[in-house]
Chains A and B, each alone.
Chain A
Amino acid sequence: MSVSGQKPLSNAWQNWWRFSRNPTAVVGAIIVITSVTLALLAPYVTPFPEHVGAVVDFANRHQAPSAVHWFGTDNVGRDIFSRAIFGLRVSLLLAVVVLGLAIPVGVVLGLLAGYFGGWVEIVIMRVTDIALAIPPLVMALAVAAVLTPSLTNSMLAIALLWWTWHTRLIYSITRQLRSQEFVEAAETLGASRAHILFREILPNCVSAIAVKTSLDAGFVILIGAALSFLGLGIQPPTPDLGTMVASGASFLPDYWWESVLPGCAILFVAMGFNLLGDGLRDLFDVEDVR
C-alpha cells in the first residue's frame, strides 16, 4: 500500500516476473513465438524457398537429412525443411481463422446464456449440447463430401462446431459472476446490459479465454493436420504438414524422414501451444478450463 508514496510493482511487471518463473509457460511461449516468426518470415529464413511450388529435381530425390537438406528431400527432390516451415503457415492460418470465427461467437453466446438465463439459456445451451456431440473431424468430412475438399471448407466446418467450447466456458463463469455484488452494483447504478456484459463481466473472463485459446490452437492444428492427411486440407502443391506426412508415408520405412520429420513439426507446434496454455492457466489461476 502506497499512501506513503512508495510505488507498488505494476501489474504487468508482477505478471511478467511470475510468468518467467514458470518453466512450462516459458518453454511454450518460446516454441509458439519461434513457430510464428519462422512461418511469417518463411521466404527469408528457408534455404530453398523456391521448393514451395511444383519444382522437380529428380537428381536429388529421397536424400537423407544432411547439412544441406536438414530434413532430407522428398520423392521429387524438394527440401523438406523448407516445405515444413511453409507448412507451418497453413497450420497457423487454420488456427487463427477457426478461433477468430469461433471465439467471438462462443463468448457472446456464453455471456447471453449465463447472464439472462431463462429461455435464452435453454435455447443456447441445448444447441451447444447438440453441436458438442458432433466430432469436428466427422463434420469436416461431411462438409467436404457435400461441397469440395478445400482448406476454406475445412476451416468453416471446424469453426461451425468450435464455438461451443467457448460458450460452455463463458456460460459457467458468467453464471458465477452474475450474482457477484459488483454486477448488482452496476445494475443499481443504472448501467446498460451491454455495459454489464462487455465491461463488467467480460474483463473477468479474459484470462480464461486466453488459456482456452492457447490450448485450442494446439488442438485445431492437430485436427487440421488430420484433415490434410486425409486429403481434405489445402491442395498440392502448396506445402502442408499433414499432406507431407501422408505423401511421405508411402515411402516408409526406407525414407522415414519424409513423413516423420513433418510429423515432428506438427507435434512441436501443437505442444508449444499446449504448454503455453497450461502455463497461463497456472499464472492466471483459472482452474475450470480444460
Chain B
Amino acid sequence: MTAPVLEVRNLVKTFAVKGAFGRGRGIVRAVDDVSFSIGAGEVFGLAGESGSGKSTIARMVMGLSQPDSGDILIDGQSILGRGTSLAHRQQVQMVFQNPGASLNPRRTVGQSIRVPLDAHNFAGDRRARVGELLEMAQLPAHFADRFPHELSGGQKQRVAIARALAVEPRLLVLDEPTSALDVSVQSHVIELLEDLVAQLGLTYLFISHDLSLMRNFAQRVGILYLGKIVETGPVAPVFTAPQHDYTRLLLASVPVISAEEEALRPTIPMIDGDIPTAEQLLALRELSQTKEFKT
C-alpha cells in the first residue's frame, strides 16, 4: 500500500475559555490526540455533534490554524511549518459549510473562480478554464458573469466546488458541504461530489453531523466526541454494530423514516439536551474522567 493521501497523527488543539474580566477559566481540548489516515480515492467521514472538534481539524488540515502538537502529513510530507505554501494549497482544497458566506458578494462567480488560477499562475486560457470548471460542477458557463446573490444555495455550493477544483487538488476537505442547503438540493450536490470522485480520482475528508448522509457517502468513518475519535472503521460495522456508547447514542438520535431503518436503530435511553456550551463540555470531561462513563 502506498502512503496515505492524508495522515493525521496525535493532533491536539486547545482553546482557553475566558471568564469574567478576561481571567482564564480553564482550557478546552477541542481536538484531543486525534489520529486517522485516508487512502487515495477514499471518502473518509468525520462525524460528531457541534463542538466535537470536526471543523477545528479541518482548519488545521487547511493550515488556517496551527495544532498545539501532533503532525499532519499529506502524501507522507508534514505540512506543519509550510502550511501556507502554494504547494500545500495545490494539494488540498476546501469546500466551506455556508456557500453564501464563502463567496465574496462583491465579485462575480468568474472572478471568484479565477482567484486560484491567478494565484497558482495557471498556464493557458484562464477564461476557458473557468468555463470548463463550471461545466465540471454541472453549471452553465455563462454563470461566470453572475453575482452570488443571483444564484440559489445549491448553485453557489457548486461554484465553491468548481473553485476548489481549479488547481486540481488531490484531497478535498468538505466541511458540512450540504448542511446549509435544502434537503432536496443536498442529494444533487452529493451526487456531484460522487461523480467527481469517479472522474478525477479525488480523495475526500467529509465532515458532517448528518449520519444518514455519512452512511451513504463515506467508506470509512471516525466518530468524534469531545475532541477524541471514539470509534473508527468502515461504515457498515460502525453503523450496524457500534462499539462505543456515544456512537450508539448518536445513531439512536438520527431521525428515521422507513421501518427498515427503524429496525436498525439501536435502543438506548435518550439523553435530550441542547448543544453543550464550552463550560458544560469542561464539566462533562471532568465527569468522563472520574466516573464510570467509558471512553
* Interface residue ranges, A against B (CB under 8 Å): 1-2, 8, 11, 180-182, 184-192, 195, 199-200, 203-204, 206
Contact = CB atoms under 8 A, between A and B. Distances in A.
A182 to B, nearest CB: 4
A182 B147 CA distance: 14
Interface of B: 62-64, 84, 86, 89-90, 92-94, 96-98, 101-107, 115-116, 118-120, 147, 150-152, 160, 163-164, 166-167
B150 A185 contact: no
B93 A182 contact: no
A203 B105 CA distance: 9
B66 to A, nearest CB: 14
A203 B107 contact: yes
Given A1-B150, A11-B147, A189 B93 contact: yes
B106 A190 contact: no
Contact of B116 (A11, A181, A189, A203): A189
Nearest to B148: A182
B89 A190 contact: yes
B30 to A, nearest CB: 17
Given A188-B63, A188-B64, A190-B89, A2 B115 contact: no
B102 A181 contact: yes
B146 to A, nearest CB: 9
B104 A195 contact: no
A190 B120 contact: yes
A188 B62 contact: yes
Nearest to A206: B106
B64 to A, nearest CB: 6
B250 to A, nearest CB: 26
Contacts of B101: 180-182
Contact of A187 (B64, B104, B147, B163): B64
Contacts of B86: 190
Nearest to A204: B106
Q: Which of B101, B106, B118 has the most CB of A within 10 A?
A: B106
B104 A184 contact: no
Q: Closest 10 interchain pairs by CB?
A: A190-B89, A203-B106, A190-B119, A181-B102, A181-B101, A189-B116, A182-B104, A185-B102, A181-B96, A188-B62
Contacts of B147: 11
Nearest to B101: A181
Given A189-B119, A190-B90, A204 B150 contact: no
Nearest to B175: A181
B94 A188 contact: yes
Contacts of A200: 104, 107
Given A184-B96, A189-B167, A200-B107, 20 more contacts: A1-B152, A181-B97, A181-B101, A182-B101, A182-B103, A182-B105, A185-B103, A187-B64, A188-B62, A188-B92, A188-B93, A189-B93, A189-B166, A190-B167, A191-B116, A199-B115, A200-B104, A203-B104, A204-B104, A204-B106
Contacts of A187: 64, 84
A1 B143 CA distance: 12
Given A11-B147, A185-B96, A195 B119 contact: yes
Contact of A191 (B63, B94, B115, B150): B115
A170 to B, nearest CB: 15
A186 B64 CA distance: 11
Contacts of B84: 187
B150 A8 contact: yes
Contacts of A191: 115-116, 118-119
Nearest to A203: B106
Contacts of B97: 181
B83 to A, nearest CB: 10
Contacts of B94: 185, 188
Contacts of B105: 182, 204
B58 to A, nearest CB: 10
A45 B116 CA distance: 54
